[in-house]
Each structure stands twice: as structure tokens, then as C-alpha cells.
Amino acid sequence: MSATGRLQTDMSWHLDQVFDLAAALDATVITTTVSKLVVDVDRAPDDYSTSEDSATSVCPTLTLDGKKIYKYEEEPGPTEQEQRVLLFHDPFHKAIRSELTRLKTMHKKVALFDCQSMRSRIKGFCDRGLPMISLGTDEGQSCDKDLKVLFAESFTGVTGFSIGVDDLFTGGYITRTYGAPKQGVHAMTVVVAQRAYLRHETPPFEPDKVRVTRLNATMTGAFSKVIDWVGGESGVQADVDTDAGVEDEDLFAVEAS
């Protein structure tokens, strides 16, 4: 990797602390420990791009502000990209499909959240800066309108919080692929601006304990309302790897790093 690539500035740094909701919520949480610079699980598996838009391909070669991740002629070729998708992208989505199938046999409604974080301002990508919380619902196609309004309103009126809905982010591959409200699956992308919980948005990307605690409490409240909306009962939270089993849950959350 290049010096820029080694900085890994496009990662969802320490997002596990923000969404550490095991003690409070009844949910399945599927996480990936693979860097999105290796393979981005929120991109289409056949999006192998090495052109100027490769920052948003399944195996990016540019940062979101257009800087090269790899040294000259070290970019992954088609074969390596296919192998990365097979090893890391496919198991993650297999876990999603498996959980959706399982939960749909238990509940009429399932809510799926693709949770990510991003630097607050990225030149050429979001020059005007991100709201504290950005929600994407494929312009209302991936989830029920009432759920979108309910979740968004959980952040309005909270001091220091700003929210955008279907603005810069309208939902990534996960939200667009699995959101099917008519079939009872309601999907939403949640992008957190890193100023909401990091001390600095530069290496070493150190979390701010006060900010993390505040954001975690706000997220807990928001997801609690979602559980009420889907008609959830009490149960046990389970963190799920791509090959792990789970307990009974009502809310289905996906964390893509």
C-alpha cells in the first residue's frame, strides 16, 4: 500500500463502541473485521472498477478524496478482486440472508440497519460537510415511511445533533438489496460523522469517551423505538460473525466497517 493507503482514513473507526448495544437491545449484530480497503461489503460484488470512480468499487484503489491507496502497479487485478469477494464479501452477505430468512419465520416485520461512519468533511466527496447522522432509505423505497420518520425524529432536538435523510447518502448496496417493505424487511443505511464520537478524525482516530457515551445512549434510544415499531418481544442480544450462531432476536442490525 501507499503511505496514504496505510493511513486507512476511509475506515469506520471504532464504530463497535458506538453500537455496543448488547446490554440494552434485543438484536442481531453482524460485523466484518475486514478492512473496506480490502473489500467493501456495502458494494456490489461484481463492481470491479479501476477507473477514477474506484473509490466506491468493491475493492477500492482510491480514497474517497481521490488519493491512491496502492503503490504504482500494485493494485489488485481481477483475479485477486474475485478472490477477496469470495473470501470476505460472500460470507458476510450469506450471513445476512440466513438471518433474514430465520427472523422472517418468527416476525412479520424485520428492521435491518447498515451502520457506518465517515470523516465529517472529505474534499471532492462531501465538501459541505456531513450532518452528524445521515440516513439512507433508497428515497423511501427500502423501508416504511413511518419507520424512517420515527428513527429520524430520535435525533431531532438533541443538542448538537444534525440529521440528513436521503441527502448525500440514499442507501448503499446492503440497503438497496435487502430492503423490501412489502415483504416485511425494512432496511436503512446509517452513516455517523466521526466528529460525533472521535477526539480527532485523523490518525490514531482516538475515541472521545464522553462523545461515545452520549452517542451510544442516543442510538440506544433510537433503536429502542424501532423495536417497539416492529413489535419486538424481549430476548437476548447476539453479536454474529459470518460463521456464528445466534439466539432469538427481534431487531436485525448490520454493522459494516
- Amino acid at residue number 98: S
Helix (H, G, I), strand (E, B) or coil at 144: coil
List Cβ neighbours of 44 (8 Å cut-off, separation of 6 or more): 58, 173
User: Would you say residue 244 has pLDDT above 60?
Assistant: no
118 DSSP β-pair partners: 193
Q: What is the pLDDT of residue 33?
A: 86
The answer as to whether 234 is a domain residue is yes
Mean of pLDDT over the chain? 85
Quick check: 166 pLDDT over 50? yes
User: Per-residue pLDDT averaged across 45-68, rounded?
Assistant: 78
**Total domain count, the chain:** 1
Cα angle at 208 between 203 and 213, to 5 degrees?
Answer: 145
Residue 215 lies in a domain: yes
- 209 versus 51: which is more confidently predicted? 209
- Give pLDDT, residue 255: 52
Q: Is 202 domain-assigned? A: yes
Q: What is the rounded distance in angstroms from the CA atom of residue 229 to the CA atom of residue 149?
A: 11
Residue 235 lies in a domain: yes
Domain for residue 94, yes or no?
A: no
Per-residue pLDDT tens over the stretch 57-104: 899 999 888 899 999 889 888 899 999 999 999 999 999 999 999 999
Residue 30 belongs to some domain of the structure: yes
Cα dist from 190 to 53, 175, 234, whole Å = 22, 10, 24
How high is the pLDDT of residue 242? 38
pTM of the model: 0.87
Nearest Cα neighbor of 42 from 252, 187, 143, 163 is 187
The answer to whether residue 59 sits within a structural domain is no
Q: Does 135 map to a domain?
A: yes
Query: Which CATH number covers residue 143?
Result: 3.40.630.40
State the cell numbers at 221. Answer: 434510544
C-alpha cell at 103: 427472523
Rounded CA-CA distance 78/48 in Å is: 7
What domain range is 223 assigned to?
9-41+108-255
The C-alpha angle 60, 64, 67, rounded to 5 degrees, equals 80
Query: In this predicted model, what pLDDT tens digit does every residue of 105-154 receive, in sequence order?
Result: 988 999 999 999 999 999 888 888 899 999 999 999 999 999 999 999 99
